[in-house]
Amino acid sequence: MQVPKLVIFDCDGVLVDTENLANRRLAEWLSAAGFSANFEYCRKNFSGRSMASVQKEIEETTAVRLGADFVERWNAGLPDLFSHGVEAIPYVREFVEAVRAAGIAYCVASSARVSKMHITLGQTGLLPLFEHAMFSSTMVGRGKPFPDLFLHAAKTMGFPPAGCIVIEDSVAGTQAGIAAGMRVFSYHADPLTDRDGLAAAGGILFDDMRELAKLVPIR
């Protein structure tokens, strides 16, 4: 395996531990709106997705309507939701710093808005490592599982897809990276992660960021 030209990190679940907090709240909101969904359902089906795509799917497949301001209300509540309890994924800082020390380009590409990444990465002290290159699904026409976001990040950073690797934790994100023609390393330390789904999507599975340093040649 060749040394990658660009390492693209997902944010939630890869850099910062936010998925459980977010999906508990999402389950509450959806249930209140009449869409029967518990935490486990949201964790499996909506992790790694933008709220716009979640709303679109629900409203296209059911009679439930979440409201024209659903995404805005969701984003407005994030500072409070993530004001405490957000931590960096164990050992990910060490891997990011090893990539940087090796002179390999890297960035973050998330379904979340840049403003949310500023909150979560800021809470964990990782923001200074990523302020130079932050990409959001709001910058492209289609979010994950479509490849648009990762292709946009690679093009902006100046690298061909074949020279990029993606670090993901969601099935949608893994599908997006594979569709973009990139190698995808799929993190599944959380017991609620859909491990079988990640494997079926084509991800290279790992459950410890220290293991990732052995899987990805960075020197």
Residue 213's pLDDT is: 87
Report residue 29 as tokens: 């909101």
Least confident window among 76-85, 100-109, 181-190: 76-85
Q: What strand order describes the sheet that includes 6-9?
A: 134-136, 105-110, 6-9, 164-168, 183-187, 204-206
The pTM for the full model equals: 0.88
Residue 1's pLDDT is: 73
Q: What percent of the chain has pLDDT over 90?
A: 88
pLDDT tens, 18-38? 888 999 999 999 999 999 999
What 8-state DSSP symbol labels residue 190?
S
Q: Is residue 202 a contact partner of residue 168, using CB atoms and an 8 Å limit?
A: no
- 91 Rama class: left (phi>0) / alpha (psi -120 to 50) / beta: left
pLDDT tier, 52 (very low <50, low <70, confident <90, very high otherwise): very high
pLDDT tens, 110-159? 999 999 999 999 999 999 999 999 999 999 999 999 999 999 999 999 99
Q: Is residue 219 scored above 80 in pLDDT? A: no
Stretch 161-181: mean pLDDT? 97
